[in-house]
Structures are given as C-alpha cells and as structure tokens.
Amino acid sequence: MSAPPARSPRVGVWLIGARGSVATTVVAGCAALTAGLHPPTGLVTEGPEFADSGLPALSSLVFGGHDTTDCPLPKRAEQLAAGGVMPHRLPVAVAAELAAADREITTGGPLPGDTRTAEELIAAFTEDLRGFVRRNDLARAVVVNVASTEPVATGDDLPPSSLYAAAALRAGCPYVNFTPSTGLHHPALAGRAAAGGLPYAGRDGKTGQTLLRAALGPMFAQRALAVRAWSGTNLLGGGDGAALADPAAAAAKNAGKERVLADTLGTVPEGEVHIDDVPALGDWKTAWDHIAFDGFLGTRMVLQTTWQGCDSALAAPLVLDLARLVARAHETGRSGPLGELAFFFKDPVGTAPAALAAQYAELVDFARQLGETR
Amino acid sequence: MSAPPARSPRVGVWLIGARGSVATTVVAGCAALTAGLHPPTGLVTEGPEFADSGLPALSSLVFGGHDTTDCPLPKRAEQLAAGGVMPHRLPVAVAAELAAADREITTGGPLPGDTRTAEELIAAFTEDLRGFVRRNDLARAVVVNVASTEPVATGDDLPPSSLYAAAALRAGCPYVNFTPSTGLHHPALAGRAAAGGLPYAGRDGKTGQTLLRAALGPMFAQRALAVRAWSGTNLLGGGDGAALADPAAAAAKNAGKERVLADTLGTVPEGEVHIDDVPALGDWKTAWDHIAFDGFLGTRMVLQTTWQGCDSALAAPLVLDLARLVARAHETGRSGPLGELAFFFKDPVGTAPAALAAQYAELVDFARQLGETR
Amino acid sequence: MSAPPARSPRVGVWLIGARGSVATTVVAGCAALTAGLHPPTGLVTEGPEFADSGLPALSSLVFGGHDTTDCPLPKRAEQLAAGGVMPHRLPVAVAAELAAADREITTGGPLPGDTRTAEELIAAFTEDLRGFVRRNDLARAVVVNVASTEPVATGDDLPPSSLYAAAALRAGCPYVNFTPSTGLHHPALAGRAAAGGLPYAGRDGKTGQTLLRAALGPMFAQRALAVRAWSGTNLLGGGDGAALADPAAAAAKNAGKERVLADTLGTVPEGEVHIDDVPALGDWKTAWDHIAFDGFLGTRMVLQTTWQGCDSALAAPLVLDLARLVARAHETGRSGPLGELAFFFKDPVGTAPAALAAQYAELVDFARQLGETR
Amino acid sequence: MSAPPARSPRVGVWLIGARGSVATTVVAGCAALTAGLHPPTGLVTEGPEFADSGLPALSSLVFGGHDTTDCPLPKRAEQLAAGGVMPHRLPVAVAAELAAADREITTGGPLPGDTRTAEELIAAFTEDLRGFVRRNDLARAVVVNVASTEPVATGDDLPPSSLYAAAALRAGCPYVNFTPSTGLHHPALAGRAAAGGLPYAGRDGKTGQTLLRAALGPMFAQRALAVRAWSGTNLLGGGDGAALADPAAAAAKNAGKERVLADTLGTVPEGEVHIDDVPALGDWKTAWDHIAFDGFLGTRMVLQTTWQGCDSALAAPLVLDLARLVARAHETGRSGPLGELAFFFKDPVGTAPAALAAQYAELVDFARQLGETR
C-alpha cells in the first residue's frame, strides 16, 4: 500500500467549495481510511500499481479551503449520513478530523455586495493559502476546485473559479479543477499558467455517465459498429442538480460529455443530453443512456444503460487520488498540464487519449514514472 | 481497405451449420459487401489497422459447409429478411452467391439412425473438405463451427463438434470454433491439435452480453469499485434460444460468461446468468445485466444495461473476420492456439488478457505482425 | 365482431394530415383487416364489448383528407414498410385502396404565400368536405386531425388546425382531434362547437408514455405510495420528433402528459418531460420514465419503464376506433364533447376520470349505450 | 382518519414468523405511526375510503407471534435500520413497543429434532394463541403468516404453515396467509376452514413485480395489444432470496405470478420468471420485466420495467391493512374466503377479478359494506 505515513511530510489539500458534499466526503473519508474503518474502495491510488510512486500517504494530508456558506463540516457530515452518502456512525467517529478541517476553512468570495476588485480578491485568497501552508508546516498544498458549477463565463471578467485559480498560481500551489467551471481556462490566465512552473489538471471529474461513455464508446469503435444516436438524461438531486438546471452551467458540463463521444467514436452521433434537477433524489443521481447503433447490413440495435450512483461518493476518492498524484508531480518537479491524468476527467487538459482503457494505461505509466524520480 | 481482389488466391470458408442463421448471413453479407451494396459495418478487419495485413479479400472467399437440415440457403435468406435480420431486397440481390454456396453444402452427421462409427464419420467429413478444396481450386480452407450449441460432452465419445474438428485437422484446415461446443477441446484431440501444425481459434463468439462485460468489467477494476453482484438474463428467440434452454448447453455458454467477469474483476461476484428461450423474439435477443457495486465508504450503487441485438447480424461479420485472420495466419505458417484473437471470444484459447481494450490492442498488434510476414 | 358489412351505409373518414405516417397506416390497415390479411390487433372496437354497438363496419369506411404535401399514399406506404411500420408486402396487397384514398386527398392550407383569409380557407375546406360526402354518397363523414403538432397558438388568429375544425362544424361533420394542436379549443370556436349539435372528441391520442402513466399512476395512488418525482424522456424519429423539438409544440404535448399525473396521483410530483428529435429512430419511439416514490416509513424506491413502440402503429387503430365511435355517436344523435372517449386521449374533452381502468369502464358503458339507441 | 382509538377494543395481530423482517417492520411501523413519527405512506386503510369502515385503530393493535429463531425484535430492528429498511433513529424511538411485542413471541415449530405429532403441535400453537388473547384481554386476534416461503408440500403431511393455520381455526382466529406457503390450502383443512365460521384471506402478498403486472396486464388487454412474451427476473437479498432459490419454493411463488398474467391477458404468454438469491442486495429487491407485444399489423414492440423496492417496507403496511380488514370482517360476522381482498394478493382466495383497478373497486366497496354493518 502507500508509503509508511510516519516519514511523510505533511501535504495540504485546499478545497474550493470546502463545505460542499464532495469536500465533506473527502475529509470524512480520508479520516475513515486512515483510521482503518473502511477499505479504500473507489480509491484508484491505493492499487498496487501506485505502491511505489512515492505518493503522500492519506494520513499525511491536511485539509482546508474556501467556501461562501458557513455550515460546519461536522453538521454537513451528519446531513450526508442521513442521506445515505456515508455510514451513520462515521460523522461521530471522525468528528475530530472534521472539526480540524473546519477550522481551516475561510470565507471565499466574492460574496453578494462584495466591492473588492478581482486583484484584491486574488490577493486575499493567496494570503489564505499561504497562511494554511505556514500554520500547518506543509511541504506543499494542492488546490482542488470542487465548488458548484458556474455558468459559462462570458466577457473578460474573471469568474470566481478563475480568481481562486489565479491565487493558487500566485501562492505556488498545484491546481486541480474537478468541475467544468473556467478555473485556469481563462485567456487572462493562460500566460501565468504556462509561466508558473506548476503542474495542473482538470477539467470536470468523470464519475458516472461520462465514465461509462468512455468505457463503451471504444467498444463500438473497435467492433466497427456504427453509432447513430447517443441520447442521455441525468436526474440529479442535491445542489448539483439545481446548479446544472441553469442552462448556462449545463452547457459547460455537456461540452465535456460530447467530447468523449466524438473522440472515442470518431464521429458525433445524433442525440441530446439533459440534466434535470430532481431534489427528491437527494445526493443520488440516475443517468440513462440510449444508444442506437447499426450492425452488419444496417441491422438496427440498441444498448441502454442506467447508472444509479451517489455523486459525492464517486467524486471524493478521485479528489484524494488527484491531490496525491498532483502533489507528487509537484514534488518531482513536473509542471504544466498533466494530460496523463485524463483518466479522471471529462475534458482533460493537455493531450490525452479518449478511451478509458488507454487513459488508464497512461495513468499507470505515469505512476511508474513518478516512482522513478528521486 | 483490403488487398486488390484480382490477385487474391481463392480461400475457402467451410461452415459447420451451413444452413443456419449465422452461416446464411455470412454468405449473403459477404456477397453484399463485395458487390458494394452495404458498407462493412461490424466488420473489424475492414478497419485501417488491417489494411496491410495481407488478409484475403472478401471477394476471394468461397463458401461451403456441413449441415443436417436441407432448407436451401436462398430460402433461409428469405426467412431472415422477413424477420428483419437482413434488408428485404438482399436475398434476391445475392441469389446467385447464395445458390453457389448452397451447392457446396453437404449433409453432415451423425443423423438419427446413423450407424457409422466416429472414425467413419471423420473420414467422410475429411473427404468432403478435400473435395471442396479440390473442386474450387482453393489455396486453403478454414473450417468455422457456427452450429447450434451442443450439450456439454460427458464420457469419452467424441461429440459431433469434435468429429468435425478432427476432420479439419486431418484435412489440414485451420479451425475456428465460434460456439461453446467442445470442438477441439476434447482430450482425445489435444495431441492431434498440438501436432497438426495448424492454427486454430475459439471458443464462443463474444457478441452481446459478454462483449459488454469485457468492456465494463475493467472500468470497475480500474476505478477500484467493488462489484458485489453481477446478474444477467438473456432472452433469445431463434434456434439458439431453444438449444440453450437445455441446461447442459447453457452450462457451456455460462462458463465463458463467468470467466470474463472473474478475469476482469479479479474476483467472482455473486449473481447468476439465465438464458431463456423466447420464440416470439425471432432472431433477436435481449440481455439485461444488473451490477451491484460498492463505492467509497461502502456506498451501494447499481448499473443496469439492456442490450437488444440481432444475434446473426452480430456474429456474421466476426465469422468473416476470423476466417480471414486465421487463413492469413495459416498462410504465414503460424500454428497452434491463436490467443491473439481473444477479442472475438468468450473463452479464448491460449493465453490472452480478459479486458476488451487489451484484447483489441493484441489484435491490432497481431494484424501488424501478419503484414510483416512474407 | 362488427355488424355485417353488406347493410352498412358508407361512412367517411376525412383525415387532416392525410399523407402522414398515421393516416397512411390507417388506410392501409383498414384495407388489410377488411381483406382478412391481419387480425385486428390494437383495435379496441373489434372486442366483444363493442359487437352490439352498431358501429360502422371497417369495410364501410371511405377515406379522404387534406394535406399540404403531395407524396402519393402508395409511395408513403412503401416508405413505411421499408421502415418496419407495416409488413413489406402490404403496400402491394392494398394498392387499390391506397390509390382510392389518394384520389380523395385535397391540398389543404394555408400554404406558404397563401393570401386567402381565414374565412376563405374555412369556406374552401368546407366545400372539400361536402364534395367528399357527395361524391361517395356517404351517410356521414368524421373529420380526424392527425397532422403534425402545431406550436401553441398565441394571439387571436385561428391556427390551421382550428380552420379545419371550423370547416368540420360548418359541413356538419363530427370532429376528432388526435393531436395536441388547438383544433376546436379556440375561444373563437367555442360558441360554434356548443351550438353545432355535433359530437366531438380529443385531444392528443394516448399511445405510449402517457398510456403507461394512466395505467401506473392509479396503482401508486391506490397503494398510498407517495410519488416524489416522475421524470420522462422521449426519443422520437420521424416527423413527429422534428415537430416536437420545437419547444412551443412540445409545450402543448407536455401539458397533457402532466395532467394525467396530476389527476391520477392527486399531486404534481417533481420531474420534467423531454422530447428529443432522433431521426435515426425512424418511425420508432422510445420513452423512458423514472419514478421515485416513498414507501412505508419513508423508504425510497424507484420504478423505471422503457417503452419502445412504433407511433404510427399505435395511433392508427385508435383513429379507426374513434372514427367508428364518433360516427355512431352522430348517428344516434349525440352532440357536444364526448368525455366517454377519454380512454383514448391525454387531455380529454368534457368530464372524465383520469385512471385508465375507469376510462375503459366508461368506454364500455358508452358502447353499451350506443347499442341501445335505435 | 381512523375511529378514535380511545374507544377501540384491543385487537391482536399474531404473526407467524414474528422475528422476520416483515414482522419487525410491522411492529415498529405501527408504533411509529401511532406516535405520529411518520405519515401513513403505503397504508391503504388510512385513506378516506376506509374512514367509516369501523376498522380497529392502529393504536389498538397488540402484537405477538410464533418464530423458530430467537433474535430479539429490538435487535432485528437495529439490523433493518442499518440496511436502510427503516430510519436510523426509529428502533430507539419505538424500543418499548418492540420489547412489548418481543415478550409475546413464542417458539413455534416443529424445530429440528422435534418429536411432537402434528396434533400435538396444533394443540400447542392453539394454546399459545388462547394465552395471547387472554393475557391481553383482546376482543379478537388475527393470525397472519409472514414466515419464509416453504417448499411446495408433497404428500399428506401438514407442512408447518398448515399446522399454524389449523391452530388459528381451532382457536377461533381469522387467518391471513401473506406468503405462497400452503396454510389453509391443504386438503386436510378444507372442511375445517369451511365449517369454522371464520373469515380468511390470502395467498401471497402482491408487493412488486406482480403488483405491476396486475396494473399493466389490463392495459394491454383493453388496448387489444397482443402480448407474446412476458419474461421476468427477480433479484432478492435477505432471507427471502435464499428461501426462493429453492426451486420448490419458487414454484409456489411463480404459480401466483403466472395466474395474474393469464387472468388479466386472457392468454398465457411465453416467458419465464427467475428468482435469484443475491445477498449483496440486503433487504432490497429488483424486478426486471420484459414484455414483447404485437401492435397493429403485427408490429413488434417492447415494454420493460425495473422495480427497485424494499420488500419489508412494501409488505408491512399491507399486513397492517389486512389485519384491520379481517378483524373487522370477523367483528361483523363474516366468514369464509374474503375474495374482496384480492387487491392484496397474487393468488387470491374466493372469486375475484384479476385486474388491479377492479380489485381496488371491490376493496372500496367492501370497505363501505363493513361500515354499514353494526
């Protein structure tokens, strides 16, 4: 498994959206695994392929972050346990770790009525990050955006996700964008990202429907089956459903989903993707896909898939994986877009294959390389 | 595309079960593609990866085979067109090619009341094969078993599929077992297969549920998601449904399906596989899979898939692929089990990876090697 | 079965949208049943409950109609047969009947560039109807709207569907609106409909998703299960998909779908309905419904349904049913909205129960009453 | 709502299988509703149609029963809450009521090695019932079988379910068989049941797949759609899955399921029903149905349904409904098979319609009649 925790220097994980469902599950889950309360199901980096990569141990991770709400993490964890996202006794069992992370959560912004300029906000966030590193004597801190999806940015102004990303650059922190929000993908940040000497990864974690599409698309291509229409409907409860019911926010998400099909199939099939806000589903989501394809001599066939998952439970271990991998990439001196982490994303940075198996092969190879660097 | 047809020597494809749905679709489809009536949807070997492999052109293939029924191929094709397996006008358009193949179909055996010994039957089948090669001046002939699935063999007697396989060996013909029947997998044939100097491939074409499982199993493994139960139900019309309603025949098929899960997941999950005979479905089949898996912190999630396909249309292009690949393997002097063709099978011979993507990579590599041999 | 055809007076069926898929299937299917080529599957009024209702025999029906396109019916039938909507040999077998109906199809309107006023159009359509009745010596003619769905009407102008409906009133013809278009539901026609002394029925045939909802909604209500969200996605090929991809047209359709849920459940659950245009599906449609409900002590459960049907084949027999029932209602002197036909509609006229079983009971009772009238 | 509890005489509910999941949910749920902790979701008899039927109030019910295991009810409730069958805090909130019921649970039989004769067992069970009534000063007690399904009885011996049923008769208690086990349906008990002057109901609660079939079957029949094949697969965890993995036990259950189709469709379609034991599903079950049907002109269509429910949560409120209805039937002097309760059962006693809506109409009428009796 991972390297002995005793010798690991401490590594920070700074979560944008630190009081959300994903962040809360990340903090509680890391504590549960460190305490041996649960096996590391869903955590890719606990597999044998990563044992010698020099990744920071789970026990060495220190959590903090920005958020604009103020519900304490222990209370959020109680809410998630009531909704079945985590076991009922877990919030109590890891109460100390939740409280510790809660103390490292700072108010982000801009808040309603906030009159600070973009530069002032970036400066404030940068100072928050530096304080986190200093207070906790961290070898480094990785900034991970797990906030609700923003509407697609229009105009020149930096959206909030980009303000946080700019602060990460300025504070010398590697950056991961687990959402489809703009983050580092803003023209005004391109130069800084290139010059910053920091590794970064994103966008938009691949946790359900798109994960499936990345696994199934190559099957159709390899078998020379002609996909004519690939239609999908997502039913989401929780905050994500409400955020994505905004067509502008959904547009960002859907672009990633379509890219996966185009890249794995080589063509863009007919079909739309819907994202519905269904509060009754709570933290659960259901994705239905209907794939109409032609076989030999034009025979029409259909595959349907229904994926019922808990978004936070799917996302949280990947956030831990990414924080560990990007921290190690930073430690080994890598910089720029980490295309090797495309396995985790709908719309990966850098150059990367689209087929899930090929992405996994690249990831395993990257893990090996990380281990070779001293 | 494939090499210029004019220079290709003629290559035989000898189908065991030559009057069945799959065989009829193979013959009609090959003629339709050669005539340019349809694009090569579903035909893997028409992809650019195989353009330089030296495979025999579709137009160079000559069909014949054994069967124990006597419905003429043109009439079988009409029946399949009425059931939607092929376009309505196709049987008329390729009537000449169907009639030509029909003339090369010989009665197999043993028929009810047949008193010939196993040795006599093998000798007769061998002579049939030699006559086919001689009459048509073939460079070689590949024997492909596409007959209905036999019950699992018990006792020492060679089942019919093994009699045909023995005849292929004796006639010097490469052999492909597209069914779960015994074929070459009989202890009494093991020595002959090893000593025969002939390439062979099998068993049991991967056309629907198992294809999906081979694509999805690795996704769960790579994401460290714990599959707890994988249950499946297959509804089959046509002759295959009736054959597999026999529990002994189904047992052979299910062994292949389970092997895929065990090999890709690394564990054997709970869950059964049912195969139901539903004549109302005609040549169509529906496969429902229900996969219960655990995510982070033990959260329970479910994926369901429903695959609605036409078995003959899924199988036929793969039979053409296999005949071409195995013929070329023979031409280049290869012998023994072709594990490189695992992409096509539920229960592959030789050593082979279980994940579909890895199987495809091996296949493409094999195609490259076939092209390098002169 | 139905009354002896010899004595039946001839009854006209005037189809608005007479060259569409539904109309073509109506004409071909009626001819096929009259000729004994097919059993009356899908035809409600051929059941024993309707044997003594005095309905016009299928053989007594004479078809005509308006359309704005000019593809001849025999050719439309060939297209539908190629798409699997009717058997391949049927267009030839009923070619005479298709040609006869084709001769009774007149150009409707307004066509692009048409400068006729609403009054002029109504007058022309009325004359078309009168000519049809006169030429064919019909006892009566029922007008049935099966044209593509119009956008929701805004403003005071009569949309085309209302022009045709007004012409039906003026010509003394009973009227059936099988679509969600406005038809008689226009304020300017309300007075005329009430004063016209004619029976009418509508709106929007219940052929798939809404049929299912009307069967399943009552189950949840009777079992006191609390439906929290009912979400649906429809994938439609054919012309209907394109028409309903217009949000204004879809709005009309969805209003009917939601009414069914509200009326059968007693509450309006969360959830949206999507209608996607997927040309690859041809004349077929797929409807997926996801129903999240609470059971005892708040336990969360889910029902999902997937309906794969051929819209024209579902609608056509109901059009024949409605034409026969409304013709008989007219013969027996009934007038005004026929709420007793709610079984057939998403958004029924008059007062009617919402549960499918209750609607069927009303229909059977109506059939009995029709038989008692002399 | 129900009549004022203060004046209600106390009514016993004696559960065969009193420590099982269903029984535990019945006891905990009744207490939760009486305490106002939950709305009566899933409880049919709390609807307005039953308000004047004179049913015993939930608060007047007293629970006891037989079982052959000894896990205390409070502990069983904890297990069920951990599996999501009931809210996590409920076992504590109703601990007193669970403990009270637990004290009234007596060891049933025959236990392994039990040498008592059938007559001795019946006598012992009868005495247990009489003691329960006496100790609690009950106006009457209804015996409800919710034990695991037995294998189909062969031979003359009374199976355990029939021993308990015989004891109910002897003790003068109305009887409800919520399982497919034999119970009163044994030839040796027929005379006693007829002569006993007691009302009884059964068999086999309709909680999922068969409930759906009873709602959907009539839809196909009313629309004259020809169902050609109706296939189903059930995945069950919990004890029920293991019990029904025994083909003999499954046979009993499947007979009921098939009866529903035959009775609502008027024909027996092709198709099988599978019941798989999938322990990973815990107390949850998934039922997939695939219905192949023909529409107009033989067009082939398909409906699929997937039902994901919690068996205990579906069954428990119906057990309360039945206990109340049968107790009131007894109070009003009714005896013999209560066909009016067919709404609740797969394989109802007496004469009853098969369509769910018709069964519900009969139930509501029965409720009215119960209220008229004084």
As given in the structure block, the two tokens for residue C238 are 């054919």
Tell me the per-residue pLDDT of A108-152, one tens digit each, with 9 for 90 and over: 989 889 999 999 999 999 999 999 999 999 999 999 999 998 887
Q: Which range among C31-45, C48-62, C351-365, D231-245 shows the weakest confidence by mean pLDDT?
A: D231-245
- For residue B345, the model assigns a pLDDT of 96
H-run or E-run covering D162: helix D160-171
Structure confidence at residue C258 as a pLDDT band (50, 70, 90): confident
Residues B60 and B185 both lie in one domain: yes
User: Residues D55-81: what's their mean pLDDT?
Assistant: 96
Cα B32 to Cα D299: distance, rounded to the nearest angstrom: 27
Model confidence at A154, pLDDT cuts 50, 70, 90, reads: confident
Which residue in D41, D86, D88 has the most chain A C-beta atoms within 10 A of its own C-beta, making it the best mutation to test that interface? Answer: D88
For B354-358, what is the mean pLDDT? 92
The verdict on C82 and C229 lying in the same domain is no
Best residue of A88, A89, A304 to probe chain D, by most D CBs closer than 10 Å: A88
Amino acid present at C157? D
Q: Is D154 on the interface with C (CB under 8 A)?
A: no
According to the model, what pLDDT value does residue B1 have?
42
State the pTM of this model. Answer: 0.94
Distance CA A126, CA A164 (A): 8
* pLDDT tens-digit readout, B319-354: 999 999 999 999 999 999 999 999 999 999 998 898
Residue D308 near chain B (CB below 8 Å): yes
D229 CB neighbours in chain B (<8 A) are 235, 278-281
Q: What is the pLDDT of residue B374?
A: 61
Q: Which of D271, D291, D310 is the C-terminal boundary of a domain?
A: D310
Which comes out higher in pLDDT, residue D342 or B193?
D342
Confirm or reject contact between C41 and chain B (CB < 8 A): no
Question: Is the omega angle on the peptide bond into residue D110 within 30 degrees of 0, that is, cis?
Answer: yes
Query: Same structural domain for residues B193 and B284?
Result: no
- Would you state the pLDDT for residue C1? 42
Q: Residue C5 above 70 pLDDT?
A: no
pLDDT of residue B156: 81
pLDDT band at D2 (very low <50, low <70, confident <90, very high): very low
Question: Which of A86, A224, A226 has its CB closest to that of B297?
Answer: A86
What is the number of alpha carbons within 13 Å of residue D359 lying toward its C-beta? Answer: 31
Of the CA atoms within 13 Å of residue A222, those in its CB half-sphere come to 25
Share of chain C above pLDDT 90, in %: 81
Contact D88 A88 (CB under 8 A): yes
Range of the domain at B280: 209-310
Residues C230, C190 within the same domain: no
pLDDT at D212: 96
* Chain A residues within an 8 Å CB radius of C280: 228-229, 269-270, 292
The average pLDDT across D241-260 equals 73
- Helical residues (DSSP H) of C286-338, grouped into ranges: 311-331
Least confident of C176-190, D151-165, D277-291: D151-165
* CB-based contact D270 B280, cutoff 8 Å: yes
pLDDT in tens, B285-325: 999 999 999 999 999 999 999 999 999 999 999 999 999 99
Q: What is the 3-state secondary structure (H, E, C) of C222-233?
A: HCCCEEEEEEEE
Per-residue pLDDT tens digits for A328-343: 999 999 999 999 999 9
Any A CB within 8 A of C295 CB: no
Question: How far, in Å, CA of D272 to CA of D276, rounded?
Answer: 13
Q: What pLDDT sits at residue B72? A: 97
Contact call for A278 and C306, based on CB within 8 A = no
CA dihedral B83, B85, B87, B92 (to 10 degrees): -80
pLDDT of amino acid B8: 67
Assign residue C165 the CATH number of its domain: 3.40.50.720
d(CA B101, CA C50) in angstroms, rounded, equals 54
Q: Give CA–CA dist A36/B150, Å, rounded.
A: 51
**Confidence (pLDDT) at D210:** 92
Residues of A in contact with C288 (CB under 8 A): 233, 288, 290, 304
Quickly state the pLDDT bin for B251 (edges 50, 70, 90).
confident
- Same domain as D195, residue D229: no
Residue A2's pLDDT is 47
- Please report the DSSP string for B49-82 in residue order: GGTTS-PPPGGGEEEEEEES----HHHHHHHHHH
Contact with chain A for residue D306, Cβ under 8 A: yes
Reported confidence tier of residue C190, pLDDT bands at 50, 70, 90: confident
pLDDT at site A206:
94
Chains that contact D by 3+ CB pairs under 8 Å?
Answer: A, B, C
Q: Which chains touch C (3 or more CB pairs under 8 A)?
A: A, B, D
Asked if residue B63 has pLDDT above 60, the reply is: yes
pLDDT for residue A1 is more than 50: no
- ipTM score for this prediction: 0.94
Q: Which residue of D has its CA nearest to B233?
A: D233
Buried b (16+ CB within 10 A) or exposed e, C110-141: eeeeeeeebeebbebbbebbbebbeebebbbb
Residue D256 CB partners (closer than 8 Å, separation 6+):
D180, D203, D204, D210, D345, D346, D347
**Partner-chain residue, chosen from B212, B219, B301, that has the shortest CB–CB distance to A310:** B301
The answer to whether residues A72 and A163 belong to one domain is: yes
Whichever domain contains A303, its CATH number is 3.30.360.10
Task: State pLDDT tens for residues B266-283.
Answer: 999 999 999 999 999 998
Report the candidate in D222, A275, B144 with the shortest Cα–Cα distance to residue C358.
Answer: D222
Chains that contact B by 3+ CB pairs under 8 Å?
A: A, C, D
Give the residue from D280, D308, D237 showing the smallest Cα distance to B228.
Answer: D280
> Would the CB atoms of B305 and A309 count as touching at under 8 Å?
no
Average pLDDT over residues B216-236: 96
Instruction: Tell me, yes or no, whether A79 and A181 share the same domain.
Output: yes
From the list A224, A308, A316, the residue facing B301 with the nearest CB is: A308
Are D284 and D167 contained in the same domain? Answer: no
Whether B126 has a pLDDT exceeding 90, the answer reads: yes
- pLDDT for position C8: 67
* Residue D241 confidence (pLDDT) above 70: no
Q: What is the mean pLDDT of the segment spanning B122-139?
A: 98
In whole numbers, what is the pLDDT of chain B averaged over residues? 93
Last residue of a domain, one of B293, B310, B327: B310
Count of structural domains, chain D: 2
Question: Looking at residue D239, what is its pLDDT?
Answer: 66
| pLDDT mean over D36-61 | 97
Top-confidence residue, C248 or A185? A185
| pLDDT computed for residue C246 by the predictor | 72
Residue B91 half-sphere exposure toward CB, CA atoms < 13 A: 17
- C11's CB contacts (< 8 A; 6+ apart) are C56, C60, C61, C62, C138, C139, C140, C141, C142, C323, C324, C327
Which residue would you say has higher pLDDT here, D208 or D126?
Answer: D126
Domain boundary among D310, D329, D360: D310
In degrees and rounded to multiples of 5, residue C30 shows phi and psi of -60, -40
Q: Sort out which chain D residues have CB atoms less than 8 A from C358's CB and list them.
A: 357
The pLDDT confidence band at residue A344, using thresholds 50, 70 and 90, is very high
In the predicted model, what is the mean pLDDT of residues D82-109?
Answer: 95
User: Is B281 an interface residue toward D (CB < 8 Å)?
Assistant: yes
What digits encode the pLDDT tens for the residues A41-72? 999 999 999 999 999 999 999 999 999 999 99
The reply to whether residue B274 touches residue D279, judged by beta carbons under 8 angstroms, is no
For residue A314, is pLDDT > 80? yes
Q: Which phi and psi angles does B176 have, rounded to 5°?
A: -125, 125
Summarize pLDDT for D141-195 with one digit per residue, the tens: 999 999 998 887 777 889 999 999 999 999 999 999 999 999 999 999 988 888 8
Nearest C-alpha in B relative to A41: B296
- Measure the CA–CA gap between C212 and C202, rounded to whole angstroms: 18
Is the pLDDT reported for residue D3 higher than 50? no
Q: How far is A199 from chain B (nearest CA, A)?
A: 23
| A224-279 confidence digits (pLDDT tens) | 999 999 999 999 987 666 777 777 777 766 777 778 899 899 999 999 999 999 99
Q: Residue A190: pLDDT band by 50, 70, 90 thresholds?
A: confident
Kindly state whether residues B105 and B18 are assigned to the same domain: yes
Model confidence at A85, pLDDT cuts 50, 70, 90, reads: very high
Could you tell me if B218 and B305 lie in one domain?
A: yes
Confidence class of residue D248 from pLDDT cuts 50, 70 and 90?
Answer: confident
User: Please, are residues C323 and C13 in contact by the beta-carbon 8 Å criterion?
Assistant: yes
Do A245 and A360 lie in one domain? The reply is: no
Question: Which of C88, C283, C302 to mutate: most B Cβ within 10 Å?
Answer: C88
Same domain, B182 and B146: yes
pLDDT at residue C152, as a whole number: 79
Report angle CA A179, A181, A187 to the nearest 5 degrees: 135
* Interface contact D280, partner B, CB < 8 A: yes
Q: CA neighbours within 13 Å on the CB side: how many for A318? A: 31
Looking at this protein, which amino acid is placed at residue D369? Q
